[in-house]
Amino acid sequence: MHSILGAMLTLSAIGAQIAAKRRDLGLTQTDLARRASISRATLDALENGRTGELGFSKVTKLPSALGLDLKVHEAASKRPTLDELLEENRHDQSMDRRGRGRVP
């Protein structure tokens, strides 16, 4: 089974991959919508990046109907914590523009 994975898991990225796979399989939007038990309008909106909120169950039904897995994975780089940002700010404030410590 193939999977939908990406560096950034967004609905428009998922929609683009679903549209490509649907076309590869020779399915119409109506065919896939029926298989996934969602409306064709919802599928069309997802494939074309026009959906705001889409329930998790709908997002997971579509890859399954295409024989795909939807996998969520941890991003390669983590966001800094508040403590890390505050420490970086303290460090930056202690340095002048030339990279030397401030003179008291």
Check if CATH label 1.10.357.10 holds for domain 2-70. Answer: no
What confidence tens digit (pLDDT) does each residue in 17-68 have?
899 999 999 999 999 999 999 999 999 999 998 876 777 788 788 888 988 8
* pLDDT score recorded for residue 59: 79
The residue among 27, 99, 95, 103 whose CA lies nearest residue 62 is 27
- Side chain identity, residue 96: D
pLDDT band at 76 (very low <50, low <70, confident <90, very high): low
Overall pTM surpassing 0.75 (yes/no): no
Q: Is the Cα dihedral 66, 71, 72, 77 positive or negative?
A: negative
Of the given ranges (1-10, 15-24, 38-47, 86-95), which has the lowest mean pLDDT? 1-10
The DSSP 8-state label assigned to residue 101 in this structure reads B
* pLDDT score recorded for residue 49: 85
- Give how far Cα 59 sits from Cα of 43, 51, 85, 89, Å: 10, 11, 35, 40
